[in-house]
Amino acid sequence: MQSIFNGKHFISLQEWSKDEIDTLLEVSLDLKKDFAMGNPTPYLLYKTIFLMFFEQSTRTRNSMEAGIAQLGGHGTFLDTSTMQIAHGEVAKDTAVILSRYGHGIACRNCFWGVGNKYLRDLEKWASVPVMNLQCDFYHPMQGIADLMTLREKTGSLKGVKVSIIWAYATSHKKPLSVPLTQLLLFPRYGMDVTLAYPEGYALPDWAIQQAKDNADTHGGKITVTNDMEKAYRGMHVVIPKNWGSWVTDMSDEERDKLLEANKGWKCTQKMIDIADKDVMYMHALPADRNNEVEDSVIDGPHSIVYDEAENRLHTAKAVMTLTMGGK
Ligand code: CP
């Protein structure tokens, strides 16, 4: 089956076929090699992408800005608080106008119950590809970088035992888009995925069902547990990360209490020691050091967080190259 990448939106990897994701991985690797060799990659010469951010970013913003420059195009960073959005301009008007000025629109909007709807509105009205830079449900740019990293490190992804584990954090109540994206994506590559969290931090039921369907279709496996130790024992890959108790209907005060009651959900050296001897520690970053994870782990020999973050550049360039320039 032929895939048409030009103009294709990138809101959720669930909407990209496995063949399309495989092509995305291949293009990412080509671009990584070209970057290492200093080869020019002018695939998006004179093209513009608009980068709308409702929230802060280090990796996503800079991988997109550096990436589009390396492809010969231009990225316009838009802090949405300085756009007319702040005065109520609707997604339709923003999408139509930016489509007339350039060749792609990318947006981060993580507000719970709002972000994905906003992205879908942009998608509906834009005449250029819309890229999700993280919403309340999905972070496909992170998901594809994680998949690339795991493929590089493990060779074959089939049967790799990976745990997505809730972790305590103080810094801010993080979205659940990273674990949700990983949960949907990894079983499509035959991985044996464990999702672990303390009570109160469940992911949406529809996401668990989709992940199980993906596992059934592609020979992966999904296990859901409230047992933290089980999620580390014998694992090849562990991804301990905080997310908020967004799914439950709680007051802020109850949420804070629940968070403090689960301080023990930290990635410690002791937990790494019960995993596989060659276990890999991943985190999308930013990490809440000494709350989500001990320094000795994130800075230790099992950590692959910087390789993971580097792949954000190569995969972002591949997404832009295919959707804004490909056939
Ligand atoms: N992982 C990630 O999306 O990082 P930023 O929030 O810094 O973009």
Which of 63, 134, 292 is the best mutation target for the ligand 1 pocket, counting ligand atoms within 8 Å of the beta carbon and taking the most? 134
* Domain-embedded: residue 50: yes
Mean pLDDT of 95-124: 98
Mean pLDDT of 284-303: 97
CATH number at residue 92: 3.40.50.1370
Q: Do both 176 and 250 map to the same domain? A: yes
Dump pLDDT digits (tens) for 47-106: 999 999 999 999 999 999 999 999 999 999 999 999 999 999 999 999 999 999 999 999
55: CA distance to ligand 1 center in Å?
10
Top mutation candidate among 285, 305, 313 for ligand 1, by most atoms within 8 Å of CB: 285
Same domain? For 278 and 225 the reply is yes
Residues 135, 262 within the same domain: no
| 3 in a structural domain | no
The closest-lying atom of ligand 1 relative to the alpha carbon of residue 139 is 3
Residues 242 and 152 in one domain: yes
Residue 2 lies in a domain: no
Mean of pLDDT values over 9-35:
98
Compute the distance from residue 62 Cα to the ligand 1 centre, in Å: 9
From the CA of 55, give the closest atom in ligand 1. Answer: 6
> Are residues 190 and 297 located together in one domain of the fold?
yes
**108 Cα nearest atom in ligand 1:** 8
Please give the distance, rounded to the nearest whole angstrom, from the Cα atom of residue 217 to the centre of ligand 1.
30
Q: From the CA of 141, give the closest atom in ligand 1.
A: 3
**Residue 282 is assigned to a structural domain of this protein:** yes
Do residues 59 and 314 lie in contact, with contact meaning Cβ atoms separated by under 8 Å? no
Does residue 264 share a domain with residue 281?
yes
Across the chain, mean pLDDT equals 97
**Based on the structure, what is the number of domains in the chain?**
2
Residues 26, 118, single domain; the answer is yes
Task: Kindly state whether residue 257 falls inside one of the protein's structural domains.
Answer: yes
* Confidence (pLDDT) at 249: 81
Q: Are residues 162 and 298 in the same domain?
A: yes
* 298 assigned to some structural domain: yes
Mean pLDDT of 11-29: 98
Q: Residue of the nearest CA to atom 6 in ligand 1?
A: 57
Same domain, 278 and 297: yes
295 in the same domain as 162: yes
Whether residues 150 and 125 share a domain: the answer is no
Q: 260-273 in b/e burial notation, b at 16+ Cβ within 10 A?
A: eebeebbbeeebbe
With the most atoms of ligand 1 within 8 angstroms of its CB, the residue from 52, 57, 133 to mutate is: 57
Residue 252 — pLDDT band, cuts 50, 70, 90?
A: confident
* CA 56 to centroid of ligand 1, rounded, Å: 8
Residue 91 falls inside a structural domain: yes
Å from CA of 87 to ligand 1 middle: 27
As a whole number of angstroms, the distance between CA 77 and CA 63 comes to 12
The beta strand positions in 231-306, using DSSP E, are: 237-241, 280-281
Whether 1 is covered by a domain: the verdict is no
Output the CA 53–ligand 1 centroid distance in Å. 11
Residue ranges around ligand 1 (CB below 6 Å)? 57-60, 134, 142, 284-286
Domain carrying residue 269: 141-308
Q: Is the pLDDT of residue 277 over 90?
A: yes
Ligand 1 atom 1: residue of nearest CA: 284
Comparing CA positions, the residue from 188, 177, 210 lying closest to residue 284 is 177
Rounded distance from Cα 63 to ligand 1 centre (Å) = 10
What's the pLDDT at 224?
A: 98
Percent of the chain with pLDDT over 70: 99
Q: What is the DSSP string of 104-170?
A: EEEEEE--TTTHHHHHHHHHHH-SS-EEEEEESS--HHHHHHHHHHHHHHHS--TT-EEEEEE---S
pLDDT of 173 over the 80 cut: no
**Measured from the CA of 284, which atom of ligand 1 is nearest?**
1
What letter represents residue 83's amino acid? M
User: Mean pLDDT, to the nearest integer, of 291-296?
Assistant: 98
**Which ligand 1 atom is at minimum distance from the Cα of 285?**
1
- Are residues 193 and 161 part of one domain? yes
Residue 97: its pLDDT value, please? 98
